[in-house]
C-alpha cells in the first residue's frame, strides 16, 4: 500500500501547513488501538450481566402474508423459557428515522412484508433453549402476492405492500426538485443525450453483528447497551414504542465493530430486548447471527437512473434532467433522505445551472434498504460521471478537460444556494490525473485503461431539528482532561480525533485527554454518526468547550502575572506570554483552585451547522451543510479478454477533506472507502430468489466481499483547503471517498475494452458479453 502525501492549494509541505500546531496534523495512535489489538475492547456481545436471559426472533418464511394467528403455548411451556411476545402484546406505535415516513412496528402486527420480517420473540435461560422455543411457535399465514422489482411494484393492480391513500402503486415517497429552467437550458444546448444506468444492492457487512442488552430496574429505569450509531435517536424511538418517557431510557454504546449506516435504525433486537426485560425484570441479550445481520437489517438501495443532459459546444453543462427510482424494500427507513440527497449531490461537484430531479422511493417485498456510506450519492454519481465520459467522447473532448470546464470553485454562486466556503475539486482533478499517468495512459487500448470520477459530500447534513452536538470538557486539578461527548465512534476513530482537537485547543498533551462518549445519561445531546458530521459537529463542540476552559484559566493567570488574557496562550502544557514560558498547566490549575473557582473546571460547548434551518430538502433550497468535501479518484485497470476478469492496478484519491487532523486516520478512512466502492463495483451483489423473495446471499461464504488479495495499490493525496467552518479547518473524509470509486473504475474499464457497461456490478460475464457484441458489430460493419 503506497503511503499518501499532503499537498495543498498553496503547495506548501505538510510541516509548513501545520506549523504552530502541537497535536493537530500529527498521526498520533488512536486511543482505542491497543485495546483492540490485544482483544480488550468490549463489544455489546461481550457484556454479561447477572441473571441474564437470551433472546431470539422468529422470522417470516413468506415475502408477503397476513398473520392469521400465532399460538405460543408450546413455546411458553418449554422449560427455561421465561417469555414469548408477539405483535399483539405491543403498542401499535410505528417508528422510523424520519417522522412522517414511519411505517414499522417493533414486531409485525397485521402482516409480514419480506422473508425475514420480525414475527415473535422469545427470552430463555440460554440461546439453545430460545432457539428451540422458536420452533414451537405456530403461525398461520395467509400468503399474498408479492413483488420483487420496482417495475412490477409500480404497475397498476400490483399488490399493496403498505395500504393507505398516500401510497399509490407502492410509491412511498415521491419528490421533485427543480433548479433553474431545464426547458430553456435544453433549447440552448448544442448537444443532448440521454442514458439509463442501473445499480444493485449491497450489504454493509460490518464484522460485528447487531446486538443489544436491556436491563430494567425496579426504579423504572431502562438501560440498553446497543451496537448503534445514534444513541439519542435510538433512545427516542425506544421510548415512543414502549410508551415511556425518554428520561426513563438510558442508551449506552459500547465499542462498535463497524456500521457504515446499517446501525442507524432501531431494530427488533433493541425493542424486544427492552420489552422483555421490562416484563421479566431480568436483563435480556439479543445478538443477530450472520444471516440476520445481512438479510434482516438494511442494505444499499438498488436504483434506476435516467439522465438527460444538454451541453454547450465547449462542454459546459447547460441543462440536466434526472429520473431516479430506488428500491426501498419493505419499509421506508431513511427513504426521504436518499431521494433528496441524491438531488442535492447531483448539483456538486459541477456547475449545473438548470436541473430537475424526479425521484421515487418504491416498496418491494425484500428486506428494507437504508443509509449506507454515501447514502444515495454513489448511485447518482455512477450515472452522472459515466455520462460525463460519454459526453466528452461525443464532443471529441478529453474526459478530464470536460470536468475541469464544469468544476465548481469556492465562492461561486451555486444554483441550489449551497455555500462553498472551500473547494479543492479542480486541484483534485489535476492531482489525481497526474498521479495515475492520465496523459500517458489514456486511450492506449490493449485492454488497459484509466478512468476518473469526481464528487463532493456534506460534512453533516442540516435537515432536521436533531442536528446539533454538545460537549463538556473537565480539567482536573492534576492537569488531566476528560471530554464528555455524545459522538458515536463506530470504528472511524472519532474519539481519537476529538481528543486531538481538545488537546490542541487547550494546549495540553494528547496523552492527558480521556474521552467518555455515547452514553445518553452522561453525555450531552448529539446526533450520532450519520451524514459525515462527527468531526465538524461534535469536534467543533468539543473545541468550543475546551476554549471555554482556556478562557477561564487565562483570566486567572493574567491576574496573577499581570497582563491581558488575550496575550496569553497555552501550548505544550505551558502558559506562554509573548513567546515566553510562564508556568506549567498544573500550576495554573492550582492558581484557579486558590482563587476559589470550581475544580475540576468545566467548559461547555454546543455546535450546530451554519446552514439554513430548516433546510427541509423536500421543500426549500438552501445550504444543507456547513462545509463540503470534494475529491477525484483515478483508476488504472487491466482486463483479461479471455476470462473477463478485471484487475485494479492502482487507485489514486485526491481528497479535499479540509485540514487533515490526523493524516494516517484520513488515509485509513479513504482506503477503506475505496474498498467499499470497489466491492460495490465488481463483487458484491445480494442474490434473491425472484420467485419467492428468499435471500440466497446469507453468509460471507456466498456473499462475495473483496479481500486483501483484491486490494489495489492506493495513493491518497491530501488537499489542504483550511475550511473556515470545521475545527482547525477540517471537513469530512470517510464517506465521500466511496462515492466516486464506481465511475472511476467503470470509466477505466471502458477505456480498456472500448465498450461501456451501464449496470452494476461489472462482472466477468458482462464484460465477455459486451466484448462479444462489440466484435459481432465490428464483423457486421466489415
Domain residue limits, the chain: 44-144+205-295, 299-462+617-781, 468-607
Kindly report the number of other CB atoms within 10 A of residue 126's CB atom: 12
Q: Which residue has the cell 459526453?
A: 391
Closest CA to 377 of 422, 420, 337, 429: 337
d(CA 470, CA 528): 11
Q: Would you list the DSSP string of 320-384? A: EEEEEEEEEETS-TTHHHHHHHHHHTTSSSB--SSEEEEEEEEE-SSPPP---TTTTHHHHHHHH
Helices then strands, counting H and E runs in the chain, come out as 21, 29
Q: What is the pLDDT of residue 2?
A: 39
CATH fold of the domain at 299-462+617-781: Aldehyde Oxidoreductase; domain 4 (3.30.365)
Strand partners, 348: none
Cell of 144: 399474498
266, 96 Cβ separation under 8 angstroms = no
Q: What is the pLDDT of residue 463?
A: 62
SS (H, E, C) 27-44: CCCCCCHHHHHCCCCCEH
Q: Would you list the DSSP string of 279-311? A: HHSS-EEEE--HHHHHHSS-EEPPEEEEEEEEE
d(CA 527, CA 230): 6
**Which ranges of 44-163 does DSSP label H, i.e. alpha helix?**
73-77, 127-136, 150-153
Cell of 495: 474519539
204, 372 Cβ separation under 8 angstroms = yes
Closest CA to 349 of 457, 433, 438: 457
406, 457 Cβ separation under 8 angstroms = no
Q: Which residue has the cell 420467485?
A: 691
d(CA 366, CA 64): 9
Whether cis (ω within 30° of 0) applies to the bond prior to 761 is yes
The answer for residues whose C-beta is within 8 angstroms of residue 423's C-beta and 6 or more apart is 349, 408, 409, 410, 412, 456, 628, 630, 656, 721
Q: Sign (positive/negative) of CA torsion 618, 298, 361, 193?
A: positive
Backbone angles phi, psi at 383, to 5 degrees: -70, -50
d(CA 746, CA 759): 10
Q: What is the SS3 assignment for 647?
A: strand
Cell of 420: 462553498
The crossing angle, in degrees rounded to 10, of helices 335-344 and 377-395 is 30
Whether cis (ω within 30° of 0) applies to the bond prior to 34 is no
The crossing angle, in degrees rounded to 10, of helices 494-506 and 539-561 is 20
d(CA 379, CA 326): 9
d(CA 93, CA 91): 5
The crossing angle, in degrees rounded to 10, of helices 585-594 and 539-561 is 70
**Which ranges of 148-283 does DSSP label H, i.e. alpha helix?**
150-153, 182-188, 231-242, 268-280
d(CA 394, CA 470): 51
649, 636 Cβ separation under 8 angstroms = yes
Closest CA to 735 of 407, 438, 492: 492
Same fold, 44-144+205-295 and 299-462+617-781: no
Q: What is the pLDDT of residue 8?
A: 43
Residues of the chain with confidence (pLDDT) below 50: 1-18, 465, 613-614
**Which ranges of 631-761 does DSSP label H, i.e. alpha helix?**
663-678, 736-739, 741-753
User: Is beta strand 574-577 parallel, antiparallel or unpaired with respect to 568-571?
Assistant: antiparallel
Q: What is the SS3 assignment for 18?
A: coil
Closest CA to 331 of 374, 361, 291, 293: 361
Residue range 563-619, pLDDT digits in tens: 899 999 999 999 999 889 999 998 998 888 777 776 688 999 999 887 654 456 666
Residue 770: C-alpha distances to residues 14, 446, 647, 745, 782 (Å): 46, 16, 17, 16, 18
Closest CA to 121 of 170, 70, 79, 52: 70
d(CA 227, CA 518): 11
The crossing angle, in degrees rounded to 10, of helices 377-395 and 399-406 is 110
Closest CA to 536 of 308, 258, 723: 723
Q: What is the pLDDT of residue 421?
A: 94
Write down the architecture of domain 44-144+205-295 according to CATH. Alpha-Beta Complex (3.90)
Closest CA to 262 of 319, 304, 202: 202
Closest CA to 667 of 651, 686, 648: 651
Q: What is the pLDDT of residue 14?
A: 35
Element (H, E) at 388: helix 377-395
CATH fold of the domain at 468-607: Aldehyde Oxidoreductase; domain 4 (3.30.365)
Q: Which residue has the cell 417495475?
A: 151
Element (H, E) at 633: strand 628-639
Amino acid at each position: 500500500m503506497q503511503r499518501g502525501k499532503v499537498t495543498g492549494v498553496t503547495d506548501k509541505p505538510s510541516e509548513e501547513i501545520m506549523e504552530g500546531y502541537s497535536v493537530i496534523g500529527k498521526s498520533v495512535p488512536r486511543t482505542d488501538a491497543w485495546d483492540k489489538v490485544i482483544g480488550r475492547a468490549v463489544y455489546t456481545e461481550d457484556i454479561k450481566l447477572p441473571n441474564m436471559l437470551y433472546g431470539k426472533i422468529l422470522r417470516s418464511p413468506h415475502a408477503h402474508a397476513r398473520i392469521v394467528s400465532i399460538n405460543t403455548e408450546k413455546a411458553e411451556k418449554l422449560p427455561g423459557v421465561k417469555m414469548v411476545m408477539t405483535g399483539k402484546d405491543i403498542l401499535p406505535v410505528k417508528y422510523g428515522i424520519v417522522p412522517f415516513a414511519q411505517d414499522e412496528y417493533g414486531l409485525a402486527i397485521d402482516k409480514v412484508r419480506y422473508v425475514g420480517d420480525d414475527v415473535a420473540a422469545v427470552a430463555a435461560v440460554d440461546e439453545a433453549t430460545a432457539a428451540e422455543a422458536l420452533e414451537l411457535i405456530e403461525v398461520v399465514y395467509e400468503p399474498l402476492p408479492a413483488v420483487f422489482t420496482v417495475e412490477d411494484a409500480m404497475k397498476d393492480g400490483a399488490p399493496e405492500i403498505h395500504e393507505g391513500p398516500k401510497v399509490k402503486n407502492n410509491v412511498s415517497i415521491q419528490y421533485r426538485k427543480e433548479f433553474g429552467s431545464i426547458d430553456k437550458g435544453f433549447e440552448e444546448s448544442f448537444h443532448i443525450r440521454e442514458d439509463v444506468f442501473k445499480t444493485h444492492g449491497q450489504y454493509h457487512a460490518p464484522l460485528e453483528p447487531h446486538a443489544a442488552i436491556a436491563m430494567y430496574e425496579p426504579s423504572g429505569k431502562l438501560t440498553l447497551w446497543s451496537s448503534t450509531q445514534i444513541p439519542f435517536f435510538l433512545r427516542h424511538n425506544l421510548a415512543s414504542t414502549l410508551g415511556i418517557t425518554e428520561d426513563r431510557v438510558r442508551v449506552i454504546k459500547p465499542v462498535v465493530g463497524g456500521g457504515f449506516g446499517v446501525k442507524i435504525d432501531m431494530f427488533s433486537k433493541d425493542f424486544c430486548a427492552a420489552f422483555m426485560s421490562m416484563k421479566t425484570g431480568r436483563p435480556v441479550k439479543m445478538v443477530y447471527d450472520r444471516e440476520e445481520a445481512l438479510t434482516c437489517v438494511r442494505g444499499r438501495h438498488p436504483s434506476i437512473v435516467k439522465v438527460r443532459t444538454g451541453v454547450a459546444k465547449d462542454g459546459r453543462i447547460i441543462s440536466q434532467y434526472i429520473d431516479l427510482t430506488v428500491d426501498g424494500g419493505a419499509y421506508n427507513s431513511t427513504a426521504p433522505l436518499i431521494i433528496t440527497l441524491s438531488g442535492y449531490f447531483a448539483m456538486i461537484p459541477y456547475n449545473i445551472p438548470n436541473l430537475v430531479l424526479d425521484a421515487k422511493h418504491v416498496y418491494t417485498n425484500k428486506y428494507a434498504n437504508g443509509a449506507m456510506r454515501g447514502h444515495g450519492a454513489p448511485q447518482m454519481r455512477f450515472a452522472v460521471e459515466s455520462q460525463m465520459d460519454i459526453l466528452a467522447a461525443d464532443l471529441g473532448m478529453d474526459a478530464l478537460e470536460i470536468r475541469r470546464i464544469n468544476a465548481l470553485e469556492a465562492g461561486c454562486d451555486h444554483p441550489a444556494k449551497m455555500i462553498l466556503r472551500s473547494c479543492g475539486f479542480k486541484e483534485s482533478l489535476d492531482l489525481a490525473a497526474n498521479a495515475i499517468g492520465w496523459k500517458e495512459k489514456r486511450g492506449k487500448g490493449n485492454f488497459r485503461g484509466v478512468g476518473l470520477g469526481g464528487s463532493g459530500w456534506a460534512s453533516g447534513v442540516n435537515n432536521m431539528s436533531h442536528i446539533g452536538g454538545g460537549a463538556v470538557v473537565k480539567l482536573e486539578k492534576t492537569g488531566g482532561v476528560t471530554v464528555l461527548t455524545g459522538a458515536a465512534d463506530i470504528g472511524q476513530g472519532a474519539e481519537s480525533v476529538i481528543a486531538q482537537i481538545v488537546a490542541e485547543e487547550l494546549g495540553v498533551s494528547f496523552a492527558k485527554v480521556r474521552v467518555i462518549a455515547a452514553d445518553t445519561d452522561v453525555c450531552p445531546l448529539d446526533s450520532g454518526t450519520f451524514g459525515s458530521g462527527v468531526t465538524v459537529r461534535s469536534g467543533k463542540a468539543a473545541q468550543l468547550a475546551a476554549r471555554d476552559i482556556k478562557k477561564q484559566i487565562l483570566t486567572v493567570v493574567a491576574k496573577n502575572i499581570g497582563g491581558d488574557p488575550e496575550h496569553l496562550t497555552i501550548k505544550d502544557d505551558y502558559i506562554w506570554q509573548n513567546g515566553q514560558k510562564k508556568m506549567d498547566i498544573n500550576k495554573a490549575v492550582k492558581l484557579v483552585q486558590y482563587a476559589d473557582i470550581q475544580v475540576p473546571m468545566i467548559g461547555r460547548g454546543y455546535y450546530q451547522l451554519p446552514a439554513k434551518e430548516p433546510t427541509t430538502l423536500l421543500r426549500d433550497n438552501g445550504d444543507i451543510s456547513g462545509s463540503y468535501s470534494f475529491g477525484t479518484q483515478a483508476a488504472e485497470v487491466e482486463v483479461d479478454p479471455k476470462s473477463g476478469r478485471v484487475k485494479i492496478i492502482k487507485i489514486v484519491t485526491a481528497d479535499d477533506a479540509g485540514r487533515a487532523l490526523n493524516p494516517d486516520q484520513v488515509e485509513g478512512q479513504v482506503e477503506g472507502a475505496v474498498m467499499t466502492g470497489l466491492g460495490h463495483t465488481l463483487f458484491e451483489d445480494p442474490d434473491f430468489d425472484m420467485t419467492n423473495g428468499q435471500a440466497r446471499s446469507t453468509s460471507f461464504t456466498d456473499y462475495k466481499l473483496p479481500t486483501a488479495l483484491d486490494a489495489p495499490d492506493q495513493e491518497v493525496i491530501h488537499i489542504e483547503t483550511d475550511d473556515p467552518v470545521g475545527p482547525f479547518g477540517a471537513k469530512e473524509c470517510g464517506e465521500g471517498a466511496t462515492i466516486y470509486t464506481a465511475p472511476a473504475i467503470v470509466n477505466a474499464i471502458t477505456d480498456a475494452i472500448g465498450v461501456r457497461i451501464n449496470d452494476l456490478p461489472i462482472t466477468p460475464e458482462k464484460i465477455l458479453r459486451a466484448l462479444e457484441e462489440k466484435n459481432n458489430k465490428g464483423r457486421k460493419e466489415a
